[in-house]
A = this chain, B = another copy of it.
Amino acid sequence: MFGEEYDVIVVGGGHAGAEAAAAAGNMGSKTLLVTMNLQTIGQMSCNPAMGGIAKGQIVREIDALGGMSGIITDKSAIQFKMLNKSKGPAMWSPRAQSDRMRFAEEWRLALENIPNVDFYQEMVSGLLIENGKAVGVKSSLGIDIRAKSVILTNGTFLNGLIHIGEKQFGGGRAGEKAATGITEQLLQLGFESGRMKTGTPPRVDGRSLDYSVMTPQPGDAIPEKFSYLRTPVLTTQRDCFLTHTSELVHDVLREGFDRSPMFNGRIKSVGPRYCPSIEDKINRFADKNSHQIFVEPEGWDTVEVYVNGFSTSLPEDIQFKALRTVKGFEKVKFFRPGYAIEYDYFPPTQLKHTLETKLVDNLYFAGQINGTTGYEEAASQGLMAGINAHLKVNEKEDFILKRDEAYIGVLIDDLITKGTEEPYRMFTSRAEYRTLLRQDNADLRLTPKGYEIGLAKKERLIRMEEKELKSDSFVNFFRETSVKPEEVNPILDSVNSALVKQSDKMFKVFSRPKVTMDHMLQLEAVSGFVEENNLDREVLEQTEIQVKYSGYIAKEKNNADKLLRLENVKIPANFDYSDLKSLSYEAREKLNAIQPVTIAQAARVSGVNPSDISVLLVYLGR
């Protein structure tokens, strides 16, 4: 250990660090995971859930490449939901509630199962640098550990400062110490750093809640899962519950505004726009007299409950008083108050596409340290850093995903080209080619790549190839097989779709809006084909999407081309974006401030999405 040289040292055992260590170790690098507390590996700092819109796609991509987050989530899930099922499949987004303790335990055991991964519990206080190259880390006890590359995944721990009302104290997470030394050294090396903040809601005692006045939010009747491998499917699930704030709640919260570190200037750094604190919501959307609160269980057995939507750093007495005015929370008991945390991050424009720093060779940054927010964003960066560190150690080519290949590609490209001034989270709208970047085809897109670099196992590739082969042949079957009016018209009739007069290709009928795979399966030829070829649910889903979605894909590609051609369109000087209500709020704010000269420049502004650009193009008459 202390004598030995590692291939890769990963600093930090959060989502980024765990994926980084798993990737490097699984690919064959001698890897050391150094983290401040071995009992908090894979700890979920905030809500006990993985996935969600765009984030769920990322987890599927991680899994497709051979990462672990999907498997860990499946093993620890207590509820599964496919979000946006009513919209097109590009929007379908898997989300799971996890048992918080199980999630962390599964991560720990999964990492222990990788022979190449060693563990060491201590705070890293600095890097070993020689000739502009990272060659290891220095621990707070003064131990030097050498390695060919180092990945920093310090999350919210670097000079972390916790705020509750007028109180503030050092910490990386409630009850955990902050990490010091690394920022200071990186600044000396010429890096630029900044401060960001994030917050978390109170945890409460589920026994003190009145669920009968809230709306149950059950999981899907037929739950799916994240991993493309044979992970367990949920057979029972736990419900979440929905309740709302009211004007009364807001009034009580306002009583604490003068003592809020957010409003009295004590917190200067920027927080996540899309995970605002409840005080922020009240302030920014003064006309809204109610906000949603999702009541999420923290695990199978524990009574602890996560109050999603009530993130706050108001004084704890105000938090308590206000929460007691929420419907169903009249007798609530706190496990602990919410808080905000400020921490150092490093503007990610200092990185290459591989997440290696431009300044110091063989040094990689991944996760919240790059100004992102969210487990999934962190995990995917960790994975990519782990992969690239391994590849570089072995003098192999970089592994970079393009914007049309993966959300992960969009994420990293955004980070390193646009930077971010506020905690960056992924949205489907950030992706130009989101019709291509679906949760159902992450394996088709990425598993061959993951296999080629030596991360995804043969088993994955075989499963993916079988799915591809089978769904391709099923699509072909629809393209080639005709159906007679007397066979198909009863179906069309049942969905109020115009009847056909003569035989037509099944593909065409299937393409109609209201016709689903379930309808098609009523046709004997179709169900026969399914039986004969032993097609499973995944293949049916894939085929359905490929058939029904083919039109959208073409259209989207066309749009993308247009965007490219029109990229140099000039924008009039002093353009006032405020009136363009179809722009997102963020885009209006940012564009007004930055006043880009061309559409191209506008597109590069952080927070301005492809859909905003479309709006602008339309407005400018293109």
Contact = CB atoms under 8 A, between A and B. Distances in A.
Given A120-B336, A205-B119, A303-B112, A317 B2 contact: yes
Nearest to A320: B2
B121 A302 contact: no
Contact of A175 (B37, B108, B118, B336): B37
Interface string A137-179: 0001111000000000000000000001101010000111100
Given A303-B112, A333-B1, A336-B38, A316 B121 contact: no
A115 interface: yes
A386 interface: no
A333 B336 CA distance: 37
A605 to B, nearest CB: 40
Contact of A335 (B36, B119, B169): B119
Nearest to A119: B335
Contacts of A316: 2, 141, 143
A39 interface: yes
A164 B141 contact: yes
Given A112-B302, A167-B142, A316-B141, A174 B205 contact: no
A175 B36 contact: yes
A239 interface: no
Interface in A24-67: 36-39
B175 A337 contact: no
A334 interface: yes
A122 interface: yes
Contact of A167 (B141, B207, B336): B141
Nearest to A43: B39
Interface residues of A, number: 44
Nearest to A142: B167
Interface in A95-119: 101, 105, 108-109, 112, 115, 118-119
Contacts of A143: 316-317
Contacts of A2: 316-317, 320, 334
A335 B167 contact: no
Interface in A363-397: none
B335 A38 contact: yes
A141 B337 contact: yes
Contact of A108 (B302, B320, B333): B302
B301 A109 contact: yes
Interface string A285-311: 000000000000000011110000000
A359 to B, nearest CB: 30
B142 A205 contact: no
A316 B333 CA distance: 44
Interface in A292-350: 301-304, 316-317, 320, 333-337
A318 to B, nearest CB: 11
A593 to B, nearest CB: 37
Contacts of A105: 101
Interface string A528-565: 00000000000000000000000000000000000000
B301 A335 contact: no
A558 to B, nearest CB: 52
Task: Among A109, A119, A303, find the residue whose CB has the most chain B CB atoms closer than 10 A.
Answer: A119
A402 to B, nearest CB: 39
Contact of A109 (B165, B176, B302): B302
A480 to B, nearest CB: 52
Interface of A: 1-2, 36-39, 101, 105, 108-109, 112, 115, 118-122, 140-143, 164-165, 167, 169, 174-177, 203, 205, 207, 301-304, 316-317, 320, 333-337
Given A1-B333, A38-B304, 11 more contacts: A2-B316, A2-B320, A39-B101, A101-B105, A120-B336, A121-B174, A121-B175, A121-B203, A140-B167, A140-B169, A177-B177
The 10 closest A-B pairs by CB, nearest first: A121-B336, A37-B175, A112-B303, A1-B333, A119-B335, A118-B333, A141-B167, A109-B301, A2-B320, A141-B316
